[in-house]
Amino acid sequence: MTPQIIRTKAELRALVNGWKRAGERVGVVPTMGALHEGHLSLVQAAQDACDRVIVTIFVNPKQFNNPSDLDSYPRTEEDDARKLARFDVDVVYVPGVDQVYPEGFATTVSVSGLTDVLCGAHRPGHFDGVATVVTKLFTQTGADQAFFGEKDFQQLQVVKRLAADLDIPVEVIGCPTIREEDGLAMSSRNLLISDRARIKAPALHEALSEMAAGLRAGGTATDLRQKAEAKILAAGFTEVEYLDLRACDDLSLLDTPSREARLLVAAWLAGVRLIDNIAV
Ligand code: PAF
């Protein structure tokens, strides 16, 4: 059944208050739309864990540091609603900008430390935008649990931190990255990759996997990075922004996986910025 679409926070609040009074557990899957199987796996996880499921679709202007990136971001609301019809989603919350950032809005949620590195170092203001909108979506939905993909691993850590720091009573749950058959991590941005470039895209995950194997065999990130970067560039990527081994909890830089660690990469392919990461 096509889920109900709600566009105002007042309507959403009235509905959620009723659920809460009935003692129901509410899950939220925050998205910017252009839903793919990765998002749908989060919806499934929410459905499995919660009595009520809200999917939010909001292309958040505050997290785009580049206006053309915001303009070209895919917007596919009807298609998204159709994809959600096979799940038990109670509400798709599609707020207008005025519902999230009403006139006079002057607050920014900024998580320091975790956002200084990786994507944070390359996309100024991006994580402030993410942290601000996620805080708003948590408070507007009143969700007990929130589901995020590990594909955006840094985002997941930032969201966990802000929820803990601001005493927001939501449990933030990370779910595994869903991949295409050739290994490319699913992302709404994949829609922007041309057919010609798409053939080259799996090199990113291949290089990560090879480097992770090298680390597990006792190599160091310093020694293995060059070969992995060369592979990505040889495949046709134009730039590797970062390729780092980092501790899962505080994202500090590591040379060997001496604690729970992730290998994270961002690289440009034919004008599209792709990110990926894997556990080591
Ligand atoms: O991962 C995303 O799609 C966005 O960053 C999020 C969490 C929905 C906030 O706009």
| Predicted TM-score (pTM) of this structure | 0.97
Q: Is 134 in the pocket of ligand 1 (CB under 6 A)?
A: yes
Residue of the nearest CA to atom 5 in ligand 1?
130
Is residue 41 marked as binding? no
Sign of CA dihedral 35, 117, 129, 157: positive
Q: Is 115 in the pocket of ligand 1 (CB under 6 A)?
A: no
**Cα 226 to the chain's mean position, in Å?**
27
Q: Residue 146 and residue 80: Cα distance in Å, rounded?
A: 19
Q: Are 146 and 42 in contact (CB under 8 A)?
A: no
Q: Is 122 a catalytic residue?
A: no
Q: Are 146 and 43 in contact (CB under 8 A)?
A: no
Our CA dihedral for 135, 31, 249, 26, rounded to 10 degrees, sits at: 70
In the β-sheet with 239-247, what is the strand arrangement from edge to edge?
239-247, 261-269, 272-279
Q: Is 95 in the pocket of ligand 1 (CB under 6 A)?
A: no
Is residue 187 marked as binding? yes
Residue 67 pLDDT: 87
Averaged confidence pLDDT in the chain: 97
Probe ligand 1: pick from 155, 177, 188, 273, max atoms within 8 Å of CB? 155
Sign of CA dihedral 122, 55, 251, 234: negative
Residue 271 pLDDT: 95
Q: Are 147 and 45 in contact (CB under 8 A)?
A: yes
In three-state secondary structure terms, 275 is strand
Residue 148 pLDDT: 98
- Looking at the CA of residue 152, tell me the nearest atom of ligand 1: 1
Residue 246 pLDDT: 98
Q: Is 31 in the pocket of ligand 1 (CB under 6 A)?
A: yes
pLDDT tens for each residue of 159-199: 999 999 999 999 999 999 999 999 999 999 999 999 999 99
What 8-state DSSP symbol labels residue 62? G
Q: Residue 102 and residue 267: Cα distance in Å, rounded?
A: 35
Residue 147 pLDDT: 99
Gyration radius of the chain's alpha carbons: 19
Residue 42 pLDDT: 98
Residue 250 pLDDT: 96
Q: Residue 108 and residue 154: Cα distance in Å, rounded?
A: 18
| Ranges of the chain with pLDDT below 70 | none
Domains and CATH numbers, the chain: 4-175 (3.40.50.620), 188-279 (3.30.1300.10)
Q: How far is ligand 1, taken at its centre, from the CA of residue 226, in Å?
A: 31
Pick the closest to residue 134 from 166, 102, 177 (CA basis): 166
Residue 174 pLDDT: 98
Residue 196 pLDDT: 97
